């Protein structure tokens, strides 16, 4: 087992296992206080910010600090390909100010221009969006602009390749990495999303180890992935049907992923993330299951 340095790598969990921000019917009744209490009980040291989290710095700190929880990052939706760049920049500056004050050093950025991930009835695999050459130019320029603003504050943007978006496949990740400045644009490795796209998360970890600054550990139920593809289900329908789960409960082999990251001396957060229906997957139970799996894999 390749061990990670406990002072350089930290294990957190995303709140989406308790409440799904895209589908409030999944966990909408679960209080924020229960969510963070169970995160701490399951043995995590950090979280990403969800919609139910306090919007003021003082309120958030006073809730998380007694539980020993830190903020690892927060999702930011960019629209570099479909909106005037200044609109994205203005929102980004508010976002980055908040995270910087909380001590976060990475900002999770997902390009949502043309995205179908939030469309309940749009078939995920049959309607995957793509960019023309002009769209790629707008995307690269926009993300480098955000990356430059982050770098001025000693922070990094980490691009979240995501099902249903213009950066979904390994080929699209490759093109983005090849055409962006490595000092300005880093990568978030999401094991579940790259596996769903039909690519190997371990290969992505090995090939882009020097640019990966944030990791989402997410497992996939292959049976549901096949159903989503064959029956033309949407991303959200797949989530409801149990497409994703926590590490150790699905069909991804995490050992080569962890070995690749450990071998490259990865530093940063390992965030367990699995959007599930909390009525079908009891959040605390799955959080503990994932924490045990991550310990067995990493020693952390």
- Residue 114 tokens read as 């043309």
- Residue 131 tokens read as 């960019």
pLDDT of residue 2: 61
Task: Tell me how far apart the alpha carbons of residues 170 and 194 are, in angstroms, rounded to a whole number.
Answer: 7
pLDDT of residue 5: 86
Percent of the chain with pLDDT over 70: 99
Does the pLDDT of residue 63 top 80, yes or no? yes
Apex 66 CA angle, 53 and 108, nearest 5? 40
Task: Tell me how far apart the alpha carbons of residues 38 and 75 are, in angstroms, rounded to a whole number.
Answer: 21
Give the residue from 37, 36, 48, 38 showing the smallest Cα distance to 11: 48
Classify residue 215 by its DSSP letter. Answer: E
Does the pLDDT of residue 288 top 90, yes or no? yes
* Residue 10: band (very low, low, confident or very high) from pLDDT cuts 50, 70, 90: very high
For the stretch 186-234, pLDDT in tens is 999 999 999 999 999 999 999 999 999 999 999 999 999 999 999 999 9
- The CATH number of 9-298 is which of 1.10.1660.10, 1.10.1740.10, 3.20.20.150, 3.40.50.11270? 3.20.20.150
Work out the number of other CB atoms within 10 angstroms of the CB of residue 276: 24
Task: Tell me how far apart the alpha carbons of residues 7 and 58 are, in angstroms, rounded to a whole number.
Answer: 26
Mean pLDDT of 172-176: 98
Classify residue 56 by its DSSP letter. Answer: S
Classify residue 4 by its DSSP letter. Answer: P
For the stretch 155-164, pLDDT in tens is 999 999 999 9
* Domain edges within the chain: 9-298
Judge residue 123's burial from the number of C-beta atoms within 10 Å of its C-beta, 0-12 exposed, 13-18 middle, 19 or more buried: middle
* Residue 176: band (very low, low, confident or very high) from pLDDT cuts 50, 70, 90: very high
Give Cα separations from 100 to 107, 122, 209, 226, 253 (angstroms): 9, 36, 24, 40, 34
Task: Tell me how far apart the alpha carbons of residues 297 and 283 are, in angstroms, rounded to a whole number.
Answer: 21
């Amino acid at each position: 087992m390749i061990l990670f340095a406990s002072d350089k790598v930290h294990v957190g969990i995303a709140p989406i296992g308790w409440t799904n921000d895209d589908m409030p019917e999944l966990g909408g009744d679960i209080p924020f206080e229960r969510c963070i209490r169970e995160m701490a009980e399951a043995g995590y040291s950090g979280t990403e910010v969800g919609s139910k989290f306090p919007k003021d710095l003082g309120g958030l700190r006073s809730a998380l600090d007694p539980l020993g929880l830190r903020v690892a990052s927060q999702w930011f939706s960019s629209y570099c390909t479909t909106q005037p760049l200044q609109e994205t920049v203005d929102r980004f500056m508010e976002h980055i100010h908040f995270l910087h004050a909380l001590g976060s050093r990475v900002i999770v950025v997902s390009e949502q221009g043309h995205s179908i991930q939030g469309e309940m009835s749009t078939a995920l695999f049959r309607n995957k969006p793509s960019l023309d050459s002009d769209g790629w130019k707008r995307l690269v320029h926009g993300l480098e602009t955000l990356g430059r603003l982050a770098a001025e504050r000693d922070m990094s943007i980490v691009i979240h390749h995501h099902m249903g978006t213009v950066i979904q496949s390994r080929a699209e990740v490759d093109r983005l990495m090849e055409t962006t400045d490595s000092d300005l644009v880093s990568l978030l490795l999401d094991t579940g999303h790259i596996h769903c796209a039909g690519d190997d998360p371990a290969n992505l970890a090995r090939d882009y180890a020097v640019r990966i600054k944030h990791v989402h550990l997410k497992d996939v139920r292959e049976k549901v992935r096949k159903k989503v593809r064959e029956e033309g289900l949407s991303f959200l329908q797949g989530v409801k049907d149990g497409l994703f789960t926590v590490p150790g409960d699905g069909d991804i082999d995490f050992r080569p992923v962890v070995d690749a990251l450990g071998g490259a001396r990865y530093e940063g957060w390992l965030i367990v993330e699995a959007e599930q229906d909390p009525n079908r997957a009891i959040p605390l139970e799955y959080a503990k299951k994932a924490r045990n799996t991550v310990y067995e894999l990493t020693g952390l």
